[in-house]
Structure 1
Amino acid sequence: MGAVTAAYDEIADWYEQEFLPASSPGDPLGIRRALTDLLGPGSGRCLEVGCGTGVHAEQLRALGWTPVGVDLSSGMLGYAAGRLPVARADATRLPIRDGVLDAAVAVMVHTDMPGYPGVLREVARVLRPGGTFVHVGVHPAFCGGFADRSDPQAVVIRPGYLDGHWTKASWTTQGVRDKVGASHWPLPGLLHAFLDAGLTFTRFSEGGTPVPTVLSIKSIRYA
C-alpha cells in the first residue's frame, strides 16, 4: 500500500483543488444519496476508512454522527484535518480498540486498497455488535480497466473483469485511476470478503445512469 500512499501524496493538491470541484455539483453518482439511505441518521462515532481530504464529514455530521477518519496519505490528511479528527494509519491495522465504534463507512476507496478483505476484517473488529458498515464503491461489474466508459450511453465490457488485477488503464485522463492505479475484485470476490469478515448484508443500492457507476452495501456486525 505504500506505493498508493505516495501517489496520493503527489496528487493531493490536484484532488482537492481541481478534481473535487469538477465532480461536486449535484450528486450524479448517487454517493450522497447512498450515505443517506444506507447509513441514515444516527449518533455516536462513525469512522471513515480512507477519508482522504474529508469531504464526507459534513454529511456525516448532518446525519447526526460524529465522524473520525483514517488514511495513509499525509498529503490528503493535510486537507482533512480541518474537517474532522484524523489519524494517519494503515486500514488493515486500525489503531482502534475492539468493538468501540457505532458505525463505519468507506466511500469510493476500496479500489485504492489492495488488501481490502483485510480492511473489512478490521472494520468488523472495531465495530460494536450491531454496528453498521456502509461501503460505497465503484461498481465492480461496470467499472475498471476492462470497462470502456468513453460513451456514457454504452459501456463496453472487454476481457479482464475476471482477472482481479491492479491497473492504471483508464478511459479518461480526468479521473484518479490513470494517476494512482486501482485494484479490482469481481463481484463475488467482493461480496465474499464481507461474509468472511463476519459482516451481514442488509441492503444494497446502485448509483449513476444510464449504466451504474457505484455499488453501495449496508452491512451489520452481529455478535
Structure 2
Amino acid sequence: MAAYDEIADWYEGQFLAAQRDDPIGVGLALRELLGEGTGVCLEVGCGTGVHAATVRELGWTPVGVDLSAGMLRHAHGRLPVARADAGRLPLRDNSVPAVLAVMVHTDMPGYPAVLREVARVLEPGGLFVHVGVHPCFCGGFADRTDPAAVVIRPGYLDGYWTKESWTDQGLRDKVGASHWPLPALLNAFLDAGLAPGRFTEGGTPVPVVLAVAARSRPGTHRTRPR
C-alpha cells in the first residue's frame, strides 16, 4: 500500500513510540484473546511486525503478510514476512491454526473478503483474533479532543472511507480509514464462517479498541476459486 510506504519511517520511529506503554490496550487484548498455543500464527496486515514478540511469548510462531514494502522493511528481523494481499493469501486451505488482524481492518475496504480468506486458511476450529479500533467510538464522526468524553456526530451508520480526524498525530489523517458500523463488522464474521466466542474492549474512559476471538466453523469451509 503506497500510503503506508510513504509513512513507514514515521510510523516506526514516532507513532510506535507513543504506543510503547500500550495506552489503549492493544497488547492486553491480544494476550487475552490469543492466549498460549503452538504452531504458526499468521498476522494479516502485520506492518512493521511489532506484535511478533508478544505472539512468541505466548508460544506461537509468528508469520506476517502485508502489502506495504515500506512497512515490511522494518518487519524483517522481527518475523518471517511476505508481501501479499490479505484478500488473497498465499497459503493453502486449512493450513494454519491461528490468524491475527491487529488494528488493520479500517485499512482494508474489502475486510469481509479478508475474513473469508482467514476462514479459508484456518484449520477446522482454528482461532482468529481481531483487534481493531472500536466502531462505536472511533471514526470520522467521532471527536476525541476531550480525553474524558467522545462527541459522536452524524455518520456512524453510513459506513465510508475518510481522512477526517480529530488529531493530526494519528494514522487516519495521513492514510485514511474505512468505517464499519458494529453490526456490519460482526455480520462479516458470521458470513465468512467465523463464530465469535469472546470479546474485550480497551482504552479508558471511553473504549478505543474492540477485540474479537472467533473460531472457524465446521462445515463452512470455503475454497478460493482458482
Which moved further from structure 2: 187-196 or 15-24?
15-24
> For 1:28, what is the secondary structure of its paired residue?
coil
Moved over 6 A (4+): none
Equivalent position of 1:49 in the other structure? 44
C-alpha deviations, 1:188-219, integer Å up to 9, x for none? 00000000000001100000000000000000
Q: What amino acid is aligned across from residue 191 of structure 1 in structure 2?
A: L
The CA deviation at 1:163 is 0.9
C-alpha deviations, 1:3-62, integer Å up to 9, x for none? xx11000000000011111221x2221111111111100000000010000000000000
| Structure 2 spans left out of the alignment, 5+ residues | 219-226
Equivalent position of 1:34 in the other structure? 29
Decide which of 7, 24, 27 is 1:11's aligned counterpart.
7
CA RMSD of aligned residues (A): 0.5
C-alpha deviations, 1:136-159, integer Å up to 9, x for none? 000000000000000011100000
Find the aligned partners of 1:61 and 1:112 in 2 and give their Cα distance: 25
Q: What amino acid is aligned across from residue 198 of structure 1 in structure 2?
A: G
C-alpha deviations, 1:67-108, integer Å up to 9, x for none? 000000000000101100000001000000000101001000
When the two structures are superposed, what TM-score results if normalisation uses the length of structure 1? 0.97
| Structure 1 spans left out of the alignment, 5+ residues | none
> For 2:157, what is the secondary structure of its paired residue?
helix
The CA deviation at 1:222 is 2.3
Find the aligned partners of 2:23 and 2:70 in 1 and give their Cα distance: 27
> For 1:106, what is the secondary structure of its paired residue?
strand
Decide which of 143, 155, 159 is 2:154's aligned counterpart.
159
Equivalent position of 1:150 in the other structure? 145
Equivalent position of 2:69 in the other structure? 74
> For 1:128, what is the secondary structure of its paired residue?
strand
Matches within 5 A, 1:59-138: 59-138=54-133
Find the aligned partners of 1:221 and 1:81 in 2 and give their Cα distance: 29
Find the aligned partners of 1:221 and 1:154 in 2 and give their Cα distance: 37
C-alpha deviations, 1:148-186, integer Å up to 9, x for none? 000011100000101100000000000000000000010
Find the aligned partners of 2:36 and 2:22 in 1 and give their Cα distance: 19
Q: What amino acid is aligned across from residue 110 of structure 2 in structure 1?
A: G
Find the aligned partners of 1:125 and 1:195 in 2 and give their Cα distance: 13
Equivalent position of 2:206 in the other structure? 211
> For 1:11, what is the secondary structure of its paired residue?
helix
Q: What amino acid is aligned across from residue 10 of structure 1 in structure 2?
A: E
